[in-house]
C-alpha cells in the first residue's frame, strides 16, 4: 500500500510534525527565559530605554523579527493597557517560542526588578531615604537614567520620523505635545491622591491582587496613568501608606531595571508584606501577560494586514510620542524642575553630569548601562557623605 493511501500514515505525519514542533518550542523556553533575564538585569532607564534595548537586542542583533513588524506591534500594544516594554517582551518571546515563550520572556524580564524591589521594600523601614548618602546615591542613579532616556529617545524617534509620511508627521508632533500636557496633569496636577488617614491594619492578598489587577487595566499610555489609581487606593482615605511613602516608592522604582509599574510591588509590600507584594505584582502584570497569550494570533494578522499598516504606522508614531513625552517630564523632574520632588543635585549640576554620562555612553558595550548606574550610586553616596 502506498503511503498516500494509508490513512494512518496520513494522519500520523501531521501529528508527528506537530509533536516535533511542540518539543522544539518547549526546548526554546529556557534560552528565552535566560535571554530576557539577562536583558531585564540591565534594563535601567524606564520604557524608552527598554523598548530601544529590545529593538537592538532581539531585532537587530538576534533577528527574531524585522523592525517594521516590531514597530507595528508596538503600535498595537500602545492602544492596550499595560506597560509597553513588558508587553513587547511577551510579544518577542511568543514570536520565538509560542505562547509559553511569551510567558517565559515576561517572567525573565520582570524577575530582576521584582527581586530588587522586594529587597528595597524590606529595607524601606530600616534605611533613611533622606540621609545624604542614600539621597545622593538615588539622585545620581536618576541622572544616569535620564541620560539613558535621552539617548534612547533620539534612537527611537529618528527612524520613526524619517519613515513617517508628511501626513503622519504633524499628528505625531501634536500627540507628542499633548502627551506632555496629559502626563503633567495626571502625575503632577492632582493625579496623586490627597493624603488621607492611613490604616495600620494589614491587607489580605486577595484584596491587594484585586487592586493590582484594576491598576494593570487602567495603564493606557504607560505606567504613569496607573499611578493616580494606585496612590488614591494606597494613600487615600482608609489606605495603608502615606503619600510621601508612595513618592518614595516611585523614586525607587525609577532607578531599578524594571517597568515603572514594579512600584506596585512596593505598595503591596507596605500593605501586606511579601505575600501582599507578590499578590499586587501578579495583579498589575496579569493583563500584560494575558493580552499576548490570548490575542497573539489576532495581533499578528492585524500587523500583516496591508490595509491596517497605515494606521499601525501612525499608532507607532503615537507610541513614541507618548513615551518621549513622559521621558522629558522625568528629565525635568530629576533636574529639579518639579518642587514636589526635591532632588539631591540642583541647578546646573544635574544637567552637566547627565551630559557627561551621555557622552560616556558613546562607548558601546552591553554592560555599560549597569556599570554607569553602579558607579553613579557609589559616587552619589560619597558626595552625600562629603556634603
For the chain, what are the domain ranges? 23-386
Which residues, 6+ apart, have CB-to-CB distance to 186 below 8 Å?
224, 225, 227, 228
Instruction: Pull the grid cell for residue 24.
Output: 522544539
- Burial class of residue 112 in the structure, from the number of CB atoms within 10 Å of its CB (0-12 exposed, 13-18 middle, 19+ buried): buried
φ/ψ bin of 199: left (φ > 0), alpha (ψ from -120 to 50), beta (otherwise): beta
**pLDDT above 70 (res 184):** no
Give yes or no for residue 6 having a pLDDT over 60.
no
| Per-residue pLDDT at 65 | 93
Spatial separation of the C-alpha atoms in residues 235 and 246, rounded to whole Å: 7
Q: Determine how many CB atoms are found less than 10 A away from the CB of residue 228.
A: 18
pLDDT, mean of residues 169-185 = 66
Distance CA 91, CA 102 (A): 6
pTM across the whole model? 0.69
Following CA atoms 279, 86, 41, 126 in sequence, which dihedral angle do they give, to the nearest 10 degrees? -40
Residue recorded with cell 491587594: 208
Average pLDDT over residues 373-385: 81
Residue 365 confidence (pLDDT) above 60 = no
pLDDT top residue among 168 and 76: 76
Candidates 145, 137, 103, 140; CA nearest to 120 is 137
**Per-residue pLDDT tens for 83-127?**
888 999 999 999 999 999 999 999 999 999 999 999 999 988 787
Amino acid at each position: 500500500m502506498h503511503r498516500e493511501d494509508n490513512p494512518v500514515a496520513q494522519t500520523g505525519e501531521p501529528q508527528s510534525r506537530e509533536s516535533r514542533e511542540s518539543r522544539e518550542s518547549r526546548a526554546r523556553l529556557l534560552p528565552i527565559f535566560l535571554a530576557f533575564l539577562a536583558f531585564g538585569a540591565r534594563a535601567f532607564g524606564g520604557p524608552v530605554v527598554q523598548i530601544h534595548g529590545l529593538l537592538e537586542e532581539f531585532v537587530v542583533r538576534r533577528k527574531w523579527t524585522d523592525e517594521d513588524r516590531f514597530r507595528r506591534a508596538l503600535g498595537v500594544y500602545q492602544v492596550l493597557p499595560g506597560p509597553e516594554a513588558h508587553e513587547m517582551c511577551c510579544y518577542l518571546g511568543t514570536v520565538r517560542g509560542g505562547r509559553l515563550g511569551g510567558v517565559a520572556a515576561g517572567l525573565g524580564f520582570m524577575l530582576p526588578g521584582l527581586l530588587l524591589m522586594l529587597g528595597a521594600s524590606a529595607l524601606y523601614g530600616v534605611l533613611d531615604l533622606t540621609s545624604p548618602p542614600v539621597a545622593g546615591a538615588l539622585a545620581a542613579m536618576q541622572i544616569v537614567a535620564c541620560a539613558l532616556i535621552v539617548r534612547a529617545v533620539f534612537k527611537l524617534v529618528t527612524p520613526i520620523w524619517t519613515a513617517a509620511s508628511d501626513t503622519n508627521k504633524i499628528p505625531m508632533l501634536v500627540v507628542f505635545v499633548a502627551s506632555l500636557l496629559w502626563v503633567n496633569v495626571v502625575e503632577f496636577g492632582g493625579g496623586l491622591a490627597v493624603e488621607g488617614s492611613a490604616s495600620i491594619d494589614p491587607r489580605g492578598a486577595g484584596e491587594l491582587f484585586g487592586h493590582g489587577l484594576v491598576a494593570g487595566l487602567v495603564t493606557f499610555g504607560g505606567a504613569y496613568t496607573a499611578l493616580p489609581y494606585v496612590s488614591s487606593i494606597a494613600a487615600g482615605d482608609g489606605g495603608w501608606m502615606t503619600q510621601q511613602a508612595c513618592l518614595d516608592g516611585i523614586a525607587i522604582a525609577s532607578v531599578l531595571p524594571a517597568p515603572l509599574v514594579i512600584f506596585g510591588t512596593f505598595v503591596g509590600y507596605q500593605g501586606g508584606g511579601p505575600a501582599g507584594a507578590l499578590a499586587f505584582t501578579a495583579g498589575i502584570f496579569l493583563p500584560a501577560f494575558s493580552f499576548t497569550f490570548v490575542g497573539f494570533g489576532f495581533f499578528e494578522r492585524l500587523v500583516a494586514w496591508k490595509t491596517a499598516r497605515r494606521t499601525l504606522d501612525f499608532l507607532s508614531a503615537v507610541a513614541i510620542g507618548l513615551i518621549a513625552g513622559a521621558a522629558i517630564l522625568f528629565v525635568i523632574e530629576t533636574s529639579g524642575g518639579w518642587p514636589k520632588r526635591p532632588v539631591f543635585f540642583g541647578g546646573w549640576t544635574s544637567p552637566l553630569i547627565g551630559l557627561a554620562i551621555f557622552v560616556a555612553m558613546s562607548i558601546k558595550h552591553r554592560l555599560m548601562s549597569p556599570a554607569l548606574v553602579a558607579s553613579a550610586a557609589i559616587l552619589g553616596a560619597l558626595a552625600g557623605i562629603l556634603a
